[in-house]
Amino acid sequence: MNVTNTKKEARIVRGVCYQRIPIKTPVVFAGDSLTELMETYVKPHVQKDDIVFLSEKMVAC
């Protein structure tokens, strides 16, 4: 089954273009180390001055 991502990869806000990069992680459980998850899954994709947002689903876990 093909699933199309309906979210745009980039958004322009007040003339500034923000690229959205969804990063898949394993299921997050209470007690998991956010620092370790960020180091393992996010760090390879970010550059200096990037802003990282977490989904509300991840935060709720």
Instruction: Please indicate, yes or no, if residue 9 is contained in any of the structural domains.
Output: no
Name the residue range of residue 39's domain: 30-61
Instruction: Please indicate, yes or no, if residue 38 is contained in any of the structural domains.
Output: yes
Question: What pLDDT is attached to residue 36?
Answer: 94
Q: How confident is the model at residue 7 (pLDDT cuts 50, 70, 90)?
A: low
pLDDT above 70 as % of the chain: 85
Instruction: Please indicate, yes or no, if residue 37 is contained in any of the structural domains.
Output: yes
Instruction: Please indicate, yes or no, if residue 6 is contained in any of the structural domains.
Output: no
Question: What pLDDT is attached to residue 41?
Answer: 92
pLDDT digits (tens, 9 = 90+) for 22-44: 888 888 888 889 899 999 999 99
Number of domains in the chain: 1
Question: What pLDDT is attached to residue 60?
Answer: 72
Instruction: Please indicate, yes or no, if residue 43 is contained in any of the structural domains.
Output: yes
Query: Distances from the Cα of 23 to the Cαs of 11, 14, 15, 52, 55, in angstroms?
Result: 17, 25, 25, 11, 10
pLDDT greater than 70 at residue 6: no
- Each residue of 2-12: b (16+ CB within 10 Å) or e? eeeeeeeeeee
